[in-house]
């Protein structure tokens, strides 16, 4: 396994590996860039089938966090941790304590948070061994779970996209297709329905689907959700869903959802533009979670979180305007804007 030659390696500042025999922990932490501040990002637990797969994931995800935090206006860098293991069967107290020791050993270069496969209970164990943990603040409005704020950000992003593209300011009667009725998808469904939107939901998990139906959403099969005639498509399940095959099936005029890495390849960003579909770049619209984490961890208060999350709408409109002006796709423009922010201190130092 190589690190520096890995396809996802992109000038990462630090990649650290840990194996702890006693607990069975095998983990990788990647810090992509700390020009703006300490690297914050979730700790994912997943049964990776190879070390290469785990390395690729942590490199890609930590890089994404640098871009996300920069455009969210946060003084944070990009980092991520992955634990190689099945969260359903391999979680134990020793393992998370060993993970805490691993994080503590980096002296604050990386601050962890929950991610897929880990939750507040796991972070509390990590927190027994290190201070560098976010999302465990008992007094926070949602007990440390960032998904309500992620949903709030997506909701603001959908409104910003509708205002930009359709000059629509009310969600009443607007048709939205939500793929994935998990933590974010369900909060989003609730917000949209509260405002009078017509929401269609698809999920492979019947329990989550039922919860969304109970909120008033109409269920659709997972195959049909991408080709529905709707105003907005909100991918809130997995990454890579906008691929070569699907891109031509999409009838929505706007794609605005929470899932990370929605575009299978960068070319899909350009294909969407050429089809006249307005794409809200995922790492911009789904920043509500990291904004919440920042306010909990650094400010120690959630008082300003909601207002900060609302600013996602303005950031998206700036990206939409610049993309139209330059005849570029929104994903490219968002990356360029983020680099202008987080690479600037480095350029100044070199000058």
Binding-site ranges for ligand NAD (CB under 6 A): 116, 146-147, 150, 179-185, 202-205, 208, 222, 236-239, 258-260, 286, 289
Helix axes 206-214, 183-194, angle to 10 degrees: 20
Nearest distance from C-beta of residue 67 to ligand NAD, angstroms: 13
Give the helix ranges, DSSP H, for the chain.
51-71, 93-104, 120-126, 147-166, 183-194, 206-214, 267-274, 282-285, 288-294, 305-326, 330-342, 344-350
Q: Please indicate whether residue 80 is annotated as part of the active site.
A: yes
Nearer to ligand NAD, 18 or 246 (CB): 246
Out of 80, 91, 318, 328, the active site residue is: 80
Q: Which is nearer to ligand NAD, 36 or 188 (CB)?
A: 188
Q: Residue 264 carries which DSSP code?
A: S
Closer to ligand NAD at the Cβ: 25 or 241?
241
Smaller CB distance to ligand NAD: residue 98 or 331? 331
CB of 194 vs ligand NAD, minimal distance in Å: 18
Rounded to the nearest whole angstrom, what is the least distance from the CB of residue 188 to ligand NAD in the complex? 9
| Measured CA angle at 208 (ends 220, 114), to 5 deg | 125
> At its nearest, how many Å lie between ligand NAD and the CB of residue 286?
4
The 3-class SS string of 188-238 reads: HHHHHHHCCCEEEEECCCHHHHHHHHHCCCEECCCCCHHHCCCCEEEECCC
Question: What residues act catalytically?
Answer: 80
């Amino acid at each position: 396994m190589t690190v520096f030659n890995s396809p996802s390696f992109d000038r990462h500042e630090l990649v650290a590996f840990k194996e702890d025999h006693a607990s069975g922990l095998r983990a990788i932490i990647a810090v992509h860039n700390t020009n703006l501040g300490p690297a914050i990002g979730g700790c994912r637990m997943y049964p990776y089938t190879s070390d290469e797969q785990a390395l690729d994931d942590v490199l890609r995800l930590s890089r994404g966090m640098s871009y996300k935090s920069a455009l969210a206006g946060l003084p944070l860098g990009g980092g991520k941790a992955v634990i190689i293991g099945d969260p359903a069967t391999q979680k134990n107290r020793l393992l998370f304590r060993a993970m805490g020791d691993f994080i503590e050993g980096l002296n604050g270069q990386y601050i962890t948070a929950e991610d897929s496969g880990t939750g507040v209970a796991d972070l509390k164990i990590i927190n027994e061994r290190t201070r560098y943990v976010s999302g465990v603040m008992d007094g926070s409005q949602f007990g440390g779970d960032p998904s309500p704020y992620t949903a709030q950000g997506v909701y603001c992003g959908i409104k910003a996209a509708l205002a930009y593209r359709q000059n629509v300011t009310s969600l009443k009667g607007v048709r939205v297709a939500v793929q994935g009725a998990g933590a974010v998808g369900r909060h989003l469904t609730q917000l949209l329905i509260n405002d009078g939107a017509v929401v269609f939901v698809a999920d492979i998990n019947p329990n989550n689907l039922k919860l969304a139906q109970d909120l008033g959403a109409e269920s659709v099969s997972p195959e049909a959700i991408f080709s529905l005639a709707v105003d907005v498509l909100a991918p809130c399940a997995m990454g890579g869903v906008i691929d070569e095959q699907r891109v031509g099936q999409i009838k929505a005029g706007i794609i605005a959802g929470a899932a990370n890495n929605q575009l299978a390849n960068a070319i899909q960003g350009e294909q969407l533009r050429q089809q006249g579909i307005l794409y809200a770049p995922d790492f911009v619209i789904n920043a509500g979670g990291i904004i919440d984490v920042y306010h909990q961890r650094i400010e120690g208060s959630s008082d300003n979180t909601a207002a900060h999350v609302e600013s996602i709408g303005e950031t998206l409109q700036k990206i939409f305007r610049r993309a139209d002006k330059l005849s570029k796709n929104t994903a490219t423009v968002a990356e360029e804007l983020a680099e202008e922010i987080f690479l600037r201190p480095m350029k100044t130092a070199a000058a």
